[in-house]
Each structure stands twice: as C-alpha cells, then as structure tokens.
Amino acid sequence: MTTYLVIGAVRIQQWITRSPRLALTRGASLALTQRTSSQYLHGRFASPLRLSEAVPEIAGVVVLESDEDLDDSQVLNAMKVLGVELPGIEWTAWVAAAPSYIQAYRDTDGGQRGGRTYHLAPASRRLPMLVECEGCHEESATVKRLLPDGKSHSYGEDCEIRRGFHEEELKRLRAAYAAAGPDGNGATEATQFDHLAHVEPRPEKGERDPRLHVMGRRDADNHIALVAADGNRIGDFFKAVADVGDAAVHTRLSKALDDATRKACVEARQKTERHMTKPQYYPDVIHYVGGDDVLASVAGRFAWIWAVALGEAFERGFQDEVERALAGVPAQQASAIRQTAKAASLGIGMVFTQVKEPFALAREFSGKAESLAKRAGQGKRSVIAWADTTVDDRVLGGHHIGLAEASMQLSEGHALSSLTSSARSTLTELLRKTPSHMQLDRIYEWASRTRNERIKDRLIRETDPDKGCVTLAADLDRARWWPAAHLEEIR
Ligand SMILES: [Zn+2]
C-alpha cells in the first residue's frame, strides 16, 4: 500500500486574474507552472514524502506519495511548503492509501468522498489597518516598487512574486526577439492589455487600412476578448481510462489531454496570425492552460477566428493524441477510450470588453458564458457563447452558436452578411421596440416587404414564437465582432 497526498490550488483562475495588470496576470501563470513543477519541488518535502511519478505535470496540482501513513501535521507541513512558494493561493489536499494512484483516485472519486481532506488559507491576506497591495487589492502591501510607468506602487508578497516572474519572462522575450533578428516575424508577446488591443500598427493618415475588420465596428481597437474554455465529457474519458487500471496508461492519457489543449492554443494563434498584417504582437495572451481548461485574452477583432480555431483544433487533436497514447492498451478497452475521446468537446465562453475595463469583470462574464456554452451543447457538442460588456450588463441566454455552424459561417459568410449595416440597425431597432410575442410576425412582414429570403430562413429557426426572435437577435449581436469579408460590410 502507498499513501497518496494530492495537493491542489483552489480557484486558480480567480487568483490569476485578480490583478488588472497583464504583467501580474502573466507572472501568476508562470509562477504557478514553475513552482508546482516536479523539477522545482524536488527535495523540498520532508521524508517520508516524495514526489509521485504516477501523474503528469499539471500546473497547480502536486501529487506526493509515502510508504508510511501520514499524520495531520505531516500533511499540513507539506501544504505549507506550497503556501510559502505561492502565498496568495488557497490550497486543498486529500489523502488516501491504495495500491496505486489510480486506485486511490477511484476509491475517493478524486478526493470527493472518503479519504481525509485538508484546507490551507492563503498565507498572504489583507489585514485591516495596513496599506493595501495595489497589484491585486487582496493582500496587505509589504514592499514599494518603482514600475515602468514611473510611479511607485505598494505590492504585497504574492504580487511581488508575480512581478518577479514576469520580469524574467520579459528578459526571455526580449532575448528571443533580438535573436530572431530583423528577419523574424517581428511579433512578440503583449505585456500590457493595451498592446493586445493594438496588435497591428494603425495605418498612416491617407493610407488604405489593410487590417481585418469586423462587421459591426468601424474601429475595433481598444477592445479585447477573454476566452474561457472547458472540456465536455472529460469525466467519461477518465472513467474509461481508469478501467484499464494501469498507472502508466493513466499518465499517458492525462498527458494526451493536456497536450491536445496546449496544441489547440498554438494552432489558434497560428490560424489567427494568417489574418494579420505586419503584427506587432501575438493576437493572444494565454493566462492558463492545463488539462481541458483554457483562459486567454485575445485581440477583439480576431476573437471569433481564434475561438473557432481553438475548438476545432481541440476536437481533432484530442483524438489524435489519444490514439498515440493508446499503444499497448487491450483492444476492447482502447476502443472504449477512443469512443469517449470522440465524444469530448469544448464549451467556450467569450466576453468582449473595453481594454480599460476591470479584468475581474471580464473573468466573471467569461465564466458565465462558458457555463452557458456547456449547457447549450448539453455535453454533446462544442458551443461558443459570448457576451459583450460594452453593450449588455449580463450574459444573455440566446447568445450561443454551435462550433460547426460558426466555422461554416466563418468560411461562407455571417448569417446576416447580405444585410447592409443600416438594415442591421433597422432590425435591431425593430426587435428592441417590439414585444417578444409579436416579433416573429413583425419581422416576417419586414423580410417579405424587403424581399429578404435569408432573414425568413433565420426566422424558421425560431422555436418558440412567444420568446420572440432569439436566434435572429443573437445573429445581430454576434455580427458586431464577426470578421468582415469586405470593407463595405462595415460601412
Ligand atoms: Zn497583491
């Protein structure tokens, strides 16, 4: 029997995004990945605990094992090792003894039932009467830092660690940029949200604007989108994997999921870059990627291209990665795993915001949009749900579209691309003024009068006449950030 101790960071995404500064957000992602890596943690835990090799590396999760039973103080001391390294994070842990990690995981449902559980509050907190950290407003300040804006900022312990990691990253990026030389592609990672909003240089006065435009905005600069994605049916996949009962297979297939998600992010960036003209910055900043989770900020005008590419790359890539990892697995079990991998999809939530808006607000909205996408797809297919804080103060229920449909419209044109922008405004206004139960009739009348067959087609999709034109309203809203095939579309 081996005793397993699994320590995990709680609410990682909230912690990463609690600072409005991109530098501190990026620094947090880097700190989490590095400080929970087995390479960094090697030799830091007291005997009899050792790092387990039964699980692949996942940022924010540390699996330890011991040949002896563990008492409460041994567990808490191990948790405190992480508490010191990442003082802004809240940690939970579970302990279970079993012949293998998989067995321990299955016996306790991943620490959900049975087993002993523990909790460690963040070491760094906001205390009354002390100066507040200006990086996150969630801890007391301990140091003063002179930042690139020339002002002195009070930072707490946690933000100081984030800042340090980001500074290292900046050095690395600058070195890589210099090494790429004048023939490099010229783009580098954004280090401020403002950079991300202006990924491409503006044309000079009188020059033609060759940049990608969006249907509903004359000027899409100053806006970014936060994309949050999470896998559907991943639980079924891991159940099928656990049925094999082989720790090495479990490790390989967990890694397959992680790899597929990471590669999907890379592919989304590459696909988006094909639509860019002389980019100064990459179109995205990845805040977090691990397991089946993604959190990334994307330049507003490219967000739909990026999100669709992410979903497609994940669906295809996950099956490929799984296929490679299945070598040596008995045929019947391999086939069961293959089926669950095929059934997996992504729920993608996307929120458009003005670049100066608080990041925490975007995080909250993107989480809600992600839940909506998962609900709308019923776990069976990838769906993208969106929200736009520049227009609405909430996530609207009808604002979602299936990945396949979105992909088709990216290549063949938006559902309403036949409408001029003034016709779109008329429709929006008509919908706004007409009570829900009268919308279908009123819009049908309008479409007949203006001979708009495509609108009639869209109206057929409305399933509940009492609810009004939900699909059409969503199409109109989606048009705002939809890539425009021609410049004329935005005029
Ligand atoms: Zn702070």
Nearest by Cα to 361 from 352, 371, 370:
352
CB-CB contact of 296 with 285 (8 Å): yes
What pLDDT is attached to residue 491? 46
User: Residue 256 Cα, ligand 1 centroid: separation in angstroms?
Assistant: 35
Encode the chain (491 residues) as per-residue pLDDT tens digits. Answer: 999 999 999 999 889 988 888 889 999 999 999 999 999 999 999 999 999 988 888 889 999 999 999 999 999 999 999 999 999 999 999 999 999 888 898 888 888 887 899 999 999 988 888 899 999 999 999 999 887 778 888 999 999 999 999 999 888 878 877 776 655 567 888 888 999 999 998 888 888 888 888 998 877 789 999 999 999 999 999 999 988 988 889 889 999 999 999 999 999 999 999 999 888 899 999 988 888 999 999 999 999 999 999 999 999 999 999 999 999 999 999 999 999 999 999 999 999 999 988 888 899 999 999 999 999 999 899 999 999 999 998 999 999 999 999 999 999 999 998 888 889 999 999 999 999 999 999 999 999 998 888 888 888 888 888 888 999 999 999 999 999 865 555 44
User: Residue 358 Cα, ligand 1 centroid: separation in angstroms?
Assistant: 15
CA 373 to chain CA centroid, nearest Å: 13
Task: Give the dihedral sign, CA 406/407/412/413.
Answer: positive
User: Residue 13 Cα, ligand 1 centroid: separation in angstroms?
Assistant: 15
Which helix H or strand E contains 178, and what residues bound it? helix 157-180
* Inter-CA distances, 482 with 35, 50, 157, 444, Å: 39, 51, 42, 24
CA 468 to chain CA centroid, nearest Å: 32
What pLDDT is attached to residue 181? 60
User: Residue 43 Cα, ligand 1 centroid: separation in angstroms?
Assistant: 28
Separation between Cα atoms, residue 343 and residue 400, nearest integer Å: 20
User: Residue 430 Cα, ligand 1 centroid: separation in angstroms?
Assistant: 47
Question: pTM higher than 0.85 for the full model?
Answer: yes
Which pair of structure tokens corresponds to residue 365?
């909205």
Nearest by Cα to 363 from 23, 133, 19:
19
Which helix H or strand E contains 51, and what residues bound it? strand 50-51
User: Residue 392 Cα, ligand 1 centroid: separation in angstroms?
Assistant: 30
CB-CB contact of 267 with 317 (8 Å): yes
CB-CB contact of 19 with 136 (8 Å): yes
Separation between Cα atoms, residue 257 and residue 267, nearest integer Å: 15
Which pair of structure tokens corresponds to residue 347?
């729920």
User: Residue 148 Cα, ligand 1 centroid: separation in angstroms?
Assistant: 17
What pLDDT is attached to residue 105? 87
Separation between Cα atoms, residue 26 and residue 146, nearest integer Å: 19
* Inter-CA distances, 190 with 31, 280, 364, Å: 18, 9, 22
User: Residue 157 Cα, ligand 1 centroid: separation in angstroms?
Assistant: 7
CA 82 to chain CA centroid, nearest Å: 24
Separation between Cα atoms, residue 374 and residue 315, nearest integer Å: 15
- Residue spans per domain, the chain: 1-184, 223-412, 421-490
Nearest by Cα to 27 from 246, 189, 177:
189
What pLDDT is attached to residue 28? 95
Q: What residue type is assigned to position 367 of the chain?
A: G
Helix axes 331-343, 303-325, angle to 10 degrees: 170
pLDDT tens string 142-197? 999 887 778 888 999 999 999 999 999 888 878 877 776 655 567 888 888 999 99
User: Residue 135 Cα, ligand 1 centroid: separation in angstroms?
Assistant: 4
Q: What residue type is assigned to position 456 of the chain?
A: K
User: Residue 299 Cα, ligand 1 centroid: separation in angstroms?
Assistant: 26
Q: Which CATH number fits domain 223-412: 3.30.70.20, 1.10.3720.10, 3.30.70.270, 1.10.760.10?
A: 3.30.70.270
What pLDDT is attached to residue 179? 75
Separation between Cα atoms, residue 135 and residue 237, nearest integer Å: 39
Sequence-distant contacts of 236-239: CB under 8 A, at least 24 apart: 236/340, 236/343, 237/337, 237/340, 237/341, 237/344, 239/340
> What's the DSSP call for residue 132?
B
User: Residue 197 Cα, ligand 1 centroid: separation in angstroms?
Assistant: 25
CB-CB contact of 264 with 377 (8 Å): no
What pLDDT is attached to residue 485? 65
Cis peptide before 465 (omega within 30 of 0): no
User: Residue 368 Cα, ligand 1 centroid: separation in angstroms?
Assistant: 25
Which pair of structure tokens corresponds to residue 326?
């299945």
Tokens 């044309």 belong to 203
CB-CB contact of 88 with 15 (8 Å): yes
User: Residue 142 Cα, ligand 1 centroid: separation in angstroms?
Assistant: 9
